[in-house]
Structures are given as structure tokens and as C-alpha cells.
């Protein structure tokens, strides 16, 4: 973000694990299989940027070999462990006709299911697809839902989202010809890779604070809430449209957190621009 005037963003990209939800889905799957420690170490190294994601992706799946039914359980866990204010923030963004996307290195079935619960259209969600062994168990009943739930992992789509450097490509594809400024929110090194193709990168440390992400972010959220994202995304004009609506409480909560240096840090030039932008609300006035 080179313009020191604070302006709103039109295309908002979110990571899923440890950003919209407080869990890492793959680690939860490992917990089901009693292999949490082994898998979580690999996840942490990849998210911290110490290993490329492609070095660990297949190893983690091979270690746990999840079933369709277990992936459905992860969808439920995503929702149960949703980061505070997530639903309210996404609802406010939809009210303002912002384009909201989820770009995740997580597994597609639970990420899409979780995104659908949040009101994000499936065509605006990208994650890693799996193939399943349809010949496992009572394969002759493969068309019956209860049998499908027992189908085990067979292979994964080795696309850009299984690389630490792959998310910029996906962000570009999703943005397409849509006009407007882009903003990315995420916790990991693979999210930080998007910084070069968006106008503002917001590191999210409300679940896990990763030093490499914190130090390189334009803005860094230190509190376990998505509320600060709302004023960052919509600017004063968008905020004015939220006043007097059911979205005003989350806006006010987000602005309060965004102005607290214990909850959010901004680059110095951006901090000045943000405070100047919201001066009418800070002083209790209206734009």
C-alpha cells in the first residue's frame, strides 16, 4: 500500500485455518488418529516459513489418511472454533457489497462447507481437493451416503495451494477482472507470500502470532477477534453506511480494537492515515 491516504478495499481475501477459525484442520484430523504431535510439528514449521508447504503436505496426509466422514467433522469443528466476530464482520462486508474470498491451503471439503455457513459462495473459495479410495470397504454401495463417509484419502491435488508460494496465483485468478483494491488477511508464511499482489496485507496473530509474518505485515492483529478487519477494510465511507444498522456494534468494537496498539499495529505512515481517516468517528462526529 503506497498511498498514505486511507481508502477502502473492495476484494477481501481471508485465510481459513488460524484466521477465520482457531484450529488447523489437518492437526485436528491428526488428533482423531492419535498423531497430533507428529503432524502439528510439520504444520507449524510450514506456517512459520521454516519448511516449504510442499515438503510436508503429502507427508501429513499419508500419516493420517482421513475419511470423508472425518473431513465433515472438521467442517463442524471449524464452525465451533470460529474466531470471535467472524460472522458479524463477513455479514457487514456483504452488506457493503464487498467481494469476500477464502484462499486456504486446507482441505477443500471442510473449508467449502465452513465457507458456505459464513455466506461465502463456493466459486469464491479455493482449497486443496482430495481424491478418495472408492473401492474401500463395501465398495459396491459406493453411491450410498453412509458408505461414502467411510471412504479414505487416496491422493491430493498438487496445485498452487500445496506450495508456500502458491497463494498469489490463486488470488490473481479469483480477482480476475474485478476492479478495486485488494486486501489479504492471514496468519502464515503462505499468506504473507500474497503481499506483493494485494494493496494491504494484514497478518492475523489472534490465534498464533508468527514473528516472520508480524514483522513483514502492513498491519498486524494481535487480538483474538476479526472485528479490527472491518474498519481497515471499509474506510470511513463504508463505516458511515454501517451506522444505524445492525452492523454498527461490530464496527464500533473493531474501531476500538484497531485504535489500541495492544490489539493492532500498523506501519507508522498507515497508522497516521488510518487515524486521520476515522477522525470524525473518533471525535464522536459523523462524516
pLDDT of residue 53: 79
Question: What is the grid cell recorded at 233?
Answer: 477494510
Q: Are 118 and 87 in contact (CB under 8 A)?
A: yes
Full residue range of the structural domain in which residue 86 is found: 11-278
How many structural domains are present in the chain? 1
In this structure, is residue 2 part of a structural domain? no
Cα separation, 74 vs 24, in Å, equals 9
47: part of which helix (H) or strand (E)? helix 36-48
Tell me, yes or no, whether 6 lies in a domain: no
Note whether residue 21 is domain-resident.
Answer: yes
The reply to whether 161 falls in a domain is yes
- Report residues of the chain scoring pLDDT below 50: 1, 139-140, 146, 286-287
pLDDT of residue 63: 83
Structural domain includes residue 170: yes
Burial class (CB in 10 A: 0-12, 13-18, 19+), 45: middle
Q: What would the pLDDT profile of 33-63 be if each residue is shown by its tens digit? A: 787 777 788 788 887 878 787 788 888 888 8
C-alpha to C-alpha distance for 251 and 101, rounded to whole angstroms: 20
Q: pTM of the prediction?
A: 0.89
pLDDT score at 287:
43
Location of C-alpha cell 484430523 = 29
Q: What is the pLDDT of residue 31?
A: 85
Tell me, what CATH number does 225's domain have? 3.40.50.1000
* b/e burial code for range 105-124 (CB count within 10 A of at least 16 → b): bbbbbbbbbbbeebebeeee
Amino acid at each position: 500500500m503506497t498511498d498514505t491516504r486511507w481508502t477502502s478495499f473492495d476484494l477481501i481475501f481471508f485465510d481459513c485455518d488460524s484466521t477465520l477459525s482457531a484450529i488447523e484442520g489437518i492437526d485436528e484430523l491428526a488428533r482423531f488418529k492419535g498423531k497430533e504431535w507428529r503432524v502439528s510439528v510439520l504444520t507449524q514449521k510450514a506456517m512459520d516459513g521454516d519448511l516449504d508447504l510442499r515438503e510436508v503436505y503429502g507427508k501429513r496426509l499419508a500419516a493420517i489418511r482421513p475419511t470423508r466422514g472425518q473431513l465433515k467433522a472438521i467442517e463442524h469443528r471449524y464452525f465451533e472454533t470460529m474466531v470471535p466476530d467472524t460472522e458479524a464482520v463477513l455479514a457487514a462486508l456483504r452488506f457493503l457489497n464487498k467481494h469476500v474470498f477464502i484462499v486456504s491451503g486446507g482441505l477443500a471439503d471442510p473449508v467449502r462447507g465452513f465457507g458456505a455457513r459464513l455466506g461465502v459462495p463456493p466459486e469464491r473459495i479455493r482449497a486443496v481437493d482430495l481424491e478418495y479410495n472408492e473401492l474401500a470397504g463395501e465398495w459396491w454401495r459406493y453411491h450410498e451416503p453412509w458408505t461414502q463417509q467411510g471412504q479414505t484419502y487416496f491422493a491430493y491435488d498438487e496445485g498452487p495451494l500445496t506450495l508456500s508460494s502458491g497463494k498469489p496465483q490463486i488470488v490473481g485468478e479469483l480477482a480476475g477482472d474485478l476492479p478495486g483494491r485488494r486486501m489479504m488477511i492471514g496468519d502464515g508464511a503462505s499468506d504473507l507470500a500474497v503481499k506483493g499482489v494485494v494493496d494491504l496485507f494484514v497478518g492475523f496473530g489472534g490465534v498464533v502470532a508468527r514473528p516472520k509474518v508480524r514483522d513483514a505485515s502492513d498491519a498486524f492483529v494481535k487480538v483474538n477477534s476479526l472485528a479490527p478487519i472491518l474498519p481497515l477494510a471499509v474506510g470511513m465511507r463504508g463505516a458511515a453506511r454501517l451506522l444505524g444498522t445492525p452492523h454498527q456494534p461490530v464496527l464500533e468494537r473493531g474501531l476500538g480494537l484497531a485504535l489500541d496498539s495492544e490489539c493492532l499495529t500498523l506501519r507508522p505512515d498507515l497508522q497516521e492515515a488510518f487515524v486521520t481517516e476515522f477522525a470524525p468517528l473518533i471525535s464522536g462526529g459523523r462524516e
